[in-house]
Structure 1
Amino acid sequence: MEKKTYYVSVQAGSVLENEGDAAYEFEIVATEPEVEDLMEQFGMLSDADNSSAFRAHLPGVPYHQDSEHDGYDYTLTQIYRKLYDLGTEETKHTIAKMGSIGEQEPPVS
């Protein structure tokens, strides 16, 4: 399959073909199936964000001790790993400096 350059915004959950269409954080080189997989992960991130939104408004439990956020954190880490794997040298360098792809176990349901 042919690889093309895409522009990714993790914040917006978007993958763009044209650099000037919107703001982006990372540049990747990927096939269509790889982009589809990334978009699926963005959908899972949105679902995890929505499921933990209610809990975020209740005081008393620190974020790092709240298992409801584990799914969000795990999915976000997987997205950064995928971006690192598909990324340009600049993207890989940026993600490595962020420390966003450390070892993390899947959340226990």
Structure 2
Amino acid sequence: MEKQPYYIQMANGEIQSRSDVSPWNFRIFANEKEIQDLRELFNEMNGADSRTFWRAHVPYIPYHMDKDNDQYDNRMMEVYDKLYELGDEDARTHIKKLRNEV
């Protein structure tokens, strides 16, 4: 399958095939299967994010002891790994910089 450019907005998990549709953070080159996999990762990350919302209203469970937060963090790292794998040089440089700050 031939790879096409896609434009990714991390804040809302948006994947666009055109750069002028909405603001974007990363440009990647992917085939349909890779985009499908990335969408699934975003869906899993958003599901975990929704569960963390409810946990935030239970003050006696600390962030670092909550499995939903761990799942969200793990899914986000998987998304960044996939973006690094598929990303252009700017995307890879930015993600490397983010990893060094952690």
TM-score w.r.t. length of structure 2: 0.91
Q: Deviations over 1:41-64 (max 9, x none)?
A: 111111111122111122244322
For residues 58 and 7 of structure 1, the distance between their equivalents in structure 2, rounded to whole angstroms, comes to 36
Matches within 5 A, 1:8-19: 8-19=8-19
Q: Would you say 1:20 and 2:20 are equivalent positions?
A: yes
Q: Give the Cα–Cα distance (whole angstroms) in 2 for the partners of residues 68 and 44 of structure 1.
A: 11
Letter in 2 for 1:69: N
Q: Secondary structure at the match of 1:24?
A: coil
Residue matched to 2:43: 43
Which residue identity is paired with 2:20?
G
Map 1:1-80; keep pairs closer than 5 Å: 1-80=1-80
Q: Return 5+ residue gaps in structure 2 as ranges.
A: none
Q: TM-score with structure 1 length normalisation?
A: 0.86
Q: Which residue of 1 aligns with 2:90?
A: 90
**Range 75-84 or range 47-56, more displaced:** 47-56
Greater percentage in helix: 2
